[in-house]
């Protein structure tokens, strides 16, 4: 296959494939020899057996895929009541046999006209959102949580060309943890900005994001940084999440090794600015992959804190399953290294239904209308793909 035609050829082949953002472009994985559908019963064995004693040091010596929100809760002993929504697998991982390096510019356009006239329906209107917001505000005041994320879903019936969507998304809203999965019965397209785990040998890092500001013509990165630093609500939210992620890392890292490498910087995206920090530490000897995943997942910056009590509050309140949202996508290498993001800013298309989930953080100083509108800002780059 010619390099310029590779994306077109892979799309026309109808083979499942995955594309994941790398430092210099994108990596494409395909020719899967295994597809492992996870359940609450097999997840621990899968993670424990992901490290192989004999490896050939190939770039394909890995499993790549995702853990859904529900299975991660179960893994750490947090219960979720029966919920409504798409009955989608709790997690899927693939063993690729082919890996291709792609540039930052992905050129592919669908030959089909799949535009849908239907509009997105949101599961929570402003009044319903405000009702939940006020309930959680009381929980914050009583000390049951300090910060909690209210999830809203945008949903519509739609058949899509996932590769076309992803290529357009990377042009309009490039993100450091962007990925897509295209399989026979589903697709996921994501412009996730947030890295949850990067582990190389005995060094592990995480990049919490807490703080969102809508872009305008009058703003730039410098002014956005000034806004975040002066805004009490955004600063409190960010500090709480950074402290929680440091605590999560400290469970699995050597005493005194956890450090904030980058503190409170601004990253720019299509419709918004984010407030970001980077934390790293040195793992304790013989820390297993399972111990790492249980300590770090689900990612605290999209849940709230403290993590376990906040998860319990969320799971009692939410009537619809989150599926992939606030789960993690990435890879487990056979040598023990791993990289996982937090699945946000994502479209799940399954059974010709598109689902976009977003969440905003509630702290003691939050305003319900502001947070409701922030959710739409986060979803907008994905909703625009359907126009």
**CB neighbours (10 Å) of residue 357?**
29
**What pLDDT shows up at residue 118?**
77
| pLDDT at 259 > cutoff 90 | yes
* 350 close to 186: Cβ distance less than 8 angstroms: yes
* 188 close to 348: Cβ distance less than 8 angstroms: yes
**What pLDDT shows up at residue 157?**
93
Question: How long a stretch of residues is the chain?
Answer: 387
Confidence of residue 1 (pLDDT cuts 50, 70, 90): very low
Cα–Cα dist 205/199, whole Å: 7
What backbone phi and psi angles, to 5 degrees, belong to 88?
-100, 150
Residues 290-318: tens digit of each pLDDT: 999 999 999 988 888 899 999 999 999 99
**What pLDDT shows up at residue 48?**
97
4's tokens: 């310029």
Element spanning 170, H or E: helix 162-172
Cα–Cα dist 266/288, whole Å: 33
Task: Read off the pLDDT of each residue in 246-260 and give the average, rounded to a whole number.
Answer: 97
290's tokens: 């399972």
Facing residues of 197 across strands? 340
Residues 93-146: tens digit of each pLDDT: 999 999 999 999 999 988 776 666 678 999 999 999 999 999 999 999 999 999
| pLDDT at 196 > cutoff 90 | yes
Facing residues of 70 across strands? none
* 205 close to 261: Cβ distance less than 8 angstroms: yes
319's tokens: 């009537």
**What pLDDT shows up at residue 2?**
52
Furthest-apart CA pair in the chain: how many Å? 62
Residues 40-58: tens digit of each pLDDT: 999 999 999 999 988 777 8
| Domain boundaries defined on the chain | 3-104+123-386
**What pLDDT shows up at residue 22?**
95
CA 290 to chain centre: 19
Task: Read off the pLDDT of each residue in 164-172 and give the average, rounded to a whole number.
Answer: 93
Task: Read off the pLDDT of each residue in 145-168 and give the average, rounded to a whole number.
Answer: 93
| pLDDT at 89 > cutoff 60 | yes
225's tokens: 């940084």
Confidence of residue 324 (pLDDT cuts 50, 70, 90): very high
CA 6 to chain centre: 27
Is the pLDDT higher at 54 or at 71? 71
| Architecture of domain 3-104+123-386 in this structure | 4-Layer Sandwich (3.60)
Helix ranges, 67-125 (H): 69-75
Beta strands of the chain (E only): which ranges? 17-21, 26-37, 62-67, 91-102, 121-122, 147-157, 179-182, 186-190, 195-200, 203-206, 209-214, 259-268, 272-282, 304-305, 328-333, 338-341, 346-350, 353-362
**What pLDDT shows up at residue 75?**
97
Cα–Cα dist 360/22, whole Å: 27
Confidence of residue 210 (pLDDT cuts 50, 70, 90): confident
| pLDDT at 335 > cutoff 90 | yes
Task: Read off the pLDDT of each residue in 252-271 and give the average, rounded to a whole number.
Answer: 93
Cα–Cα dist 361/229, whole Å: 17
Task: Read off the pLDDT of each residue in 56-72 and give the average, rounded to a whole number.
Answer: 94
65's tokens: 């895929």
| Gyration radius from the chain CA atoms | 20
Candidates 120, 176, 125, 178; CA nearest to 150 is 125
Cα–Cα dist 240/147, whole Å: 8
**What pLDDT shows up at residue 3?**
53
**What pLDDT shows up at residue 271?**
83
Is the pLDDT higher at 49 or at 361? 49
């Amino acid at each position: 296959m010619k390099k310029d035609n590779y994306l077109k050829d892979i799309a026309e082949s109808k083979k499942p494939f995955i594309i994941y953002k790398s430092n210099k472009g994108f990596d494409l994985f395909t020719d899967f020899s295994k597809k492992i559908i996870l359940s609450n019963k097999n997840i621990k064995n899968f993670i424990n057996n992901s490290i192989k004693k004999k490896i050939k040091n190939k770039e394909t010596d890995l499993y790549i895929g995702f853990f859904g929100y529900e299975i991660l809760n179960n893994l750490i002993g947090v219960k979720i009541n029966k919920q409504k929504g798409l009955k989608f697998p709790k997690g899927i991982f693939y063993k690729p046999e082919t890996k291709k390096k792609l540039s930052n510019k992905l050129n592919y356009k669908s030959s089909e006209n799949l535009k849908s006239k239907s509009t997105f329906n949101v599961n929570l209107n402003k009044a319903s959102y405000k009702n939940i917001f006020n309930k959680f505000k009381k929980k914050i005041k009583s000390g049951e949580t300090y910060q909690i994320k209210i999830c809203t879903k945008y949903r519509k019936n739609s058949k899509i060309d996932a590769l076309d969507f992803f290529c357009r998304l990377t042009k309009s809203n490039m993100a450091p943890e962007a990925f897509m999965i295209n399989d026979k019965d589903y697709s996921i397209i994501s412009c996730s900005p947030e890295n949850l785990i990067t582990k190389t040998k005995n060094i592990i890092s995480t990049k919490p994001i807490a703080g969102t500001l809508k872009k305008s013509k009058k703003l730039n990165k410098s002014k956005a940084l000034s806004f975040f630093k002066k805004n009490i609500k955004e600063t409190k939210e960010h500090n709480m999440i950074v402290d929680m992620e440091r605590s999560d890392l400290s469970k699995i890292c050597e005493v005194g090794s956890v450090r904030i490498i980058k503190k409170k910087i601004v990253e720019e995206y299509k419709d918004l600015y984010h407030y970001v920090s980077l934390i790293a530490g040195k793992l304790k000897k013989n820390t297993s992959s399972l111990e790492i995943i249980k300590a770090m997942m689900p990612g605290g910056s999209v849940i709230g804190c403290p993590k376990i009590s906040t998860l319990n509050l969320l799971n009692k309140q939410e009537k619809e399953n989150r599926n992939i949202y606030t789960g993690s996508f990435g890879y487990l290498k056979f040598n023990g290294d791993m990289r996982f993001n937090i699945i946000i800013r994502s479209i799940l298309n399954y059974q010709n239904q598109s689902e976009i989930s977003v969440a905003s953080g509630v702290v003691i100083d939050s305003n319900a209308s502001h947070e409701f509108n922030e959710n739409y800002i986060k979803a907008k780059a994905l909703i625009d793909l359907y126009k």
